[in-house]
Amino acid sequence: MIVDLLPTEDQEAFRDSVAALLADELPIARLHEEAAFGGAAERAIWGTLAELGLFGLSVSEARGGFGCTLAEEVTVAREFGKHLVSPTVLSTMLATHVAGDDILPAIMAGETRVAFANPLKPVDFSNDTADVQLIDAEGVDYVLLWNAQEARLYRAPTDARQAECLDDTVGLARAVLDLGSPAARREGPWMLRAASLMLSAALAGNAEATCAMAVEYGKFREQFGQPIGSFQSIKHYCAEMARRAEAAVAQTLFATLDALEREDGNLFEVAAARLLAGDAARENGRFNIQIHGGIGFTYEADAHLFLKRAWLLSALTSSERIEQARIIAADGPTA
């Protein structure tokens, strides 16, 4: 079976417009200033993101959106990964898959923001409460929580306690969420698929960015009178980084196309994408630091920003063991 993973002309055009905006408004250098931490830089241009149509991308035209699909959202999420965009932008996009007509217009207009609620143990909506971590949730209106059977929006807790995050550019808080009164809900496995694929795309974009950083550094950093990129060991590192990134992108795109055709609970391709993308982002981040040498280990360098974000996104609502269990439980790859 041959599957076309190449983007359409419309997807390329939208991707390029998003990439240009992010390069201008959200350069990686912003994350060396505390004023941009916790999604503050993204909040400053939230209206611009809304005007670009990010929060109505997959909403039907009948409801005021663009009528695109998860494929377009995944394309955008990949660019987010390259620019280390706040997870709250992703969660707000995902919230449009759940929100009712009372909430959706404000999300699309950029007036309402939604943060990820990361559960500390598997979510059971029959329970009264759930212990969650809130990611970049300062000033958000709602939080998004899901499991394999259902997704829900809840009003943002007002009693969250601040916590330290491995990625210190991201805001982290702990809260006990009352599960009894959701503001919106959607049954079925769609949110698990959509969220996993958008997070996989962001991780794949992260891996692509660190590969590009390592290759570029290898071109001009000299040792023993020649660029380090000419050394066989560096070539092998960069080749492995490129392989990981390309595999993560390809599996994520394939799993997205598969998800658009499925209504059952088979998560084989989605789980495979999450595993490959997480591994690619973490390993490429590690190798990128190594290739940058002494500079790569400094706080002032960009390299650690990508590795920390890779670990954060990998752990968001998932783990290697969870994804491996989903693969084992699935019927098998798509024929």
The model's pLDDT over 106-120, given as tens digits with 9 standing for 90+, comes to 999 999 999 999 999
What number does CATH give the domain 190-329?
1.20.140.10
Higher pLDDT, 129 or 266: 129
Residue type, 62: A
Q: What is the mean pLDDT of the chain?
A: 93
Handedness of CA 150, 5, 305, 289 (dihedral sign): positive
Task: Give pLDDT, residue 227.
Answer: 63
Q: Do domains 9-187 and 190-329 have the same CATH topology?
A: no
Higher pLDDT, 5 or 46: 46
What number does CATH give the domain 9-187?
1.10.540.10
- The arithmetic mean of pLDDT across residues 248-275, rounded, is 92
What are 155-184's pLDDT values in tens digits?
Answer: 999 999 999 999 999 999 999 999 998 999
Domain boundaries, the chain: 9-187, 190-329
- The arithmetic mean of pLDDT across residues 234-240, rounded, is 89
Task: Give pLDDT, residue 330.
Answer: 85
Task: Give pLDDT, residue 218.
Answer: 80
- The arithmetic mean of pLDDT across residues 305-316, rounded, is 97
Nearest to 292 by CA among 252, 243, 205, 234: 234
Higher pLDDT, 253 or 221: 253
CA atoms of 286 and 298, how far apart (whole Å): 13
- The arithmetic mean of pLDDT across residues 218-241, rounded, is 77
| DSSP-assigned letter for residue 148 | S
- The arithmetic mean of pLDDT across residues 237-243, rounded, is 94
Task: Give pLDDT, residue 100.
Answer: 94
Higher pLDDT, 289 or 10: 289
Task: Give pLDDT, residue 266.
Answer: 84
Please check whether residue 143 is in contact with residue 156, taking contact to mean a CB–CB distance below 8 angstroms.
yes
15: left (phi over 0), alpha (psi -120 to 50) or beta: alpha
Q: Is the model's pLDDT at 122 over the cut of 60?
A: yes
Angle, CA of 267, 272 and 276, to the nearest 5°: 155
Task: Give pLDDT, residue 219.
Answer: 80
Task: Give pLDDT, residue 222.
Answer: 56
